[in-house]
Amino acid sequence: MSTSLLYHAFGIRGYDYVRTEYSDGQVIFTIAQDPHDCRCSACGSRDVISRGHVERQFRSLPIGSRTTSVVLPIPRVECSACGAVRQVKVPFADPRRSYTKSFQRYALELLLCMTIQDVARHLDVGWDLIKDIQKRDLSRRYAKPKLKHLRHIAIDEIAVGKGHRYLTVVMDLESGAVVFVGDGKGADALKPFWKRLRPSGAKIEAVAMDMSGAYQAAVRANLREAVIVFDRFHVVKLFNEKLSDLRRDLYREATEVQHKAVLKGTRWLLLKNAENLDEEKDEKGRLKEALKLNESLATAYYLKEDLRRFWEQPGKRFATTFLDGWIRRAEASGIKVLQQMAKTLAAHRSGLLAYYDVMISSGPMEGTNNKIKTMKRQAYGFRDREFFKLKILAIHETKYALVG
Ligand SMILES: [Zn+2]
């Protein structure tokens, strides 16, 4: 072993090589610092008196399948300028970390194509240590995204963990990046966002959200100029829920075995867009049979398909006529879920029509929500809430395998 190998292979420079030991399949290098080379870690003064040392061991890069560690007695010195006793700086490791910076870099490189679990197993360290390395890296890159450029955003809540725990997510609709993750849902969850947004000087023009009203007042109060759009993604989602409810009720009420059989398994067919029905699986035929059987289901289905045209109108005037017509037909249908839907849409009319002022939708949020769901299903998913939030902030950009 030479000092140049220490430097070139292990990223450790400026120390004397002392010895190498082999124990339990591990390679341990002991190094030492030249006592004449000690400085005060606070003020940098060389006018110091030796006050012993503290021995520490750092995990270092493996040699093939062998793990390696570096042992260094860290000198403690009394500084005559500061009048205090301190350990000298260790340039090859971050403060309070039990591994070298090159070990950290190597772990981060592996994390680009391996899960935390895999990297921990490969490097023969605990899961928590690798997680800590990734968490600090994610924090450095993503904890405080720039907000100045924000123009169009979407705000949405996602359910995480058990027992109705929620996070509130703000997305930049132009880049698809998540720019804020707040605890809980509703106005309170957004408070830290407004606090960071104000000094950024961002001029947000439009906000997409659902019709629940959870964020509406908060946005009105904090972004007076912004247009609120109750977006297509959420309207369709709400309608699909109503349609599922209706189908379930009908299934429950169906007395004939044959009717039950036809309704069974049609839920996904009802929610699919008509043009996506699979001919080969005879989805069209099966749906048609179910609709033939039940008039209210058929009416609801056709009104669902028809509502999609609201977002395909040539302009606001046409859209207004279309929406009002749709609401009238839904009201006149006599079907409870459709009447509820009509009432909701009528109450949010101007926010729905606002789409024709600023054509935004939370559509990109759907992909992100799906990724978050996958992360959540992981065994360690939500145990460390801050880590989970950082992973959401990083979802759009990071190359890390965030699940696992
Ligand atoms: Zn000093």
Could you tell me which residues are beta bridge partners of residue 27? 22, 68
Q: What is the pLDDT of residue 380?
A: 62
* pTM, full prediction: 0.81
Q: CA nearest 190: which of 215, 207, 211?
A: 215
- pLDDT for the residue numbered 30: 95
Cα-based distances in Å from 88 to 28, 43, 82, 85, 331: 22, 11, 13, 10, 77
If you measure from the C-alpha of residue 30 to the centroid of ligand 1, how many angstroms do you get, rounded to a whole number? 27
Tell me the residues surrounding ligand 1 (ion) with CB < 5 Å. 40, 42-43, 45, 79, 81-82
Q: 371-380, long-range: CB within 8 Å, 24+ apart, which pairs?
A: 371/395, 371/402, 372/158, 372/160, 374/403, 375/402, 375/403, 376/160, 376/161, 378/403, 378/404, 380/116, 380/127, 380/131
Compute, in angstroms, the gap from residue 97 CA to the centroid of ligand 1.
Answer: 23
Question: Could you give the CA distance from residue 113 to residue 134 in angstroms, rounded to a whole number?
Answer: 13
- Distance (Å) from CA 83 to ligand 1 centroid: 7
271-330 pLDDT, tens digit per residue, is: 788 788 887 888 888 888 877 778 888 899 999 999 999 999 999 999 999 999 999 999
Element (DSSP H or E) covering residue 125: none
Integer CA distances (angstroms), 217 to 179, 205, 209, 392, in order: 20, 16, 12, 25
Question: DSSP string of 143-195?
Answer: SS---TT--EEEEEEEEETTTTEEEEEEEETTT--EEEEEESSSHHHHHHHHH
Nearest partner of 210 among 189, 237, 228, 231, judged by Cα: 231
Determine the distance separating the centroid of ligand 1 and the alpha carbon of 44, expressed in angstroms.
6
Q: Choose among 378, 365, 384: nearest CA to 236.
A: 365
Whole-angstrom distance, CA of residue 365 vs CA of residue 376: 16
Contacts of 184 (CB under 8 A, 6+ apart): 166, 167, 168
Element (H, E) at 128: helix 127-142
Q: Are 251 and 264 in contact, with CB atoms under 8 Å apart? A: yes
Q: Which residue has the tokens 């007076």?
A: 224
CA–CA gap between residue 73 and residue 374 (Å, rounded): 45
Question: Cα(12) to centroid of ligand 1, in Å?
Answer: 24
Residues 233-276: tens digit of each pLDDT: 999 999 999 999 998 888 888 777 777 777 777 777 877 887 88
Cα 181 to middle of ligand 1, angstroms: 41
Q: What is the pLDDT of residue 60?
A: 95
CB atoms within 10 A of CB 246: 21
What pLDDT is stored for residue 296 in this prediction? 86
Residue found by looking up tokens 């996904």 in the block: 268
Angle, CA of 297, 278 and 252, to the nearest 5°: 30
**Residue 371 CB partners (closer than 8 Å, separation 6+):** 395, 402
Give every residue of the chain whose pLDDT is below 50, as ranges: 404
Q: Which of 102, 61, 358 is nearest to 232 (CA)?
A: 358
For ligand 1, the distance from its centroid to the CA atom of residue 213, given in whole angstroms, is 58
Beta-carbon neighbour count of residue 175 at 10 Å? 14
What pLDDT is stored for residue 36 in this prediction? Answer: 84
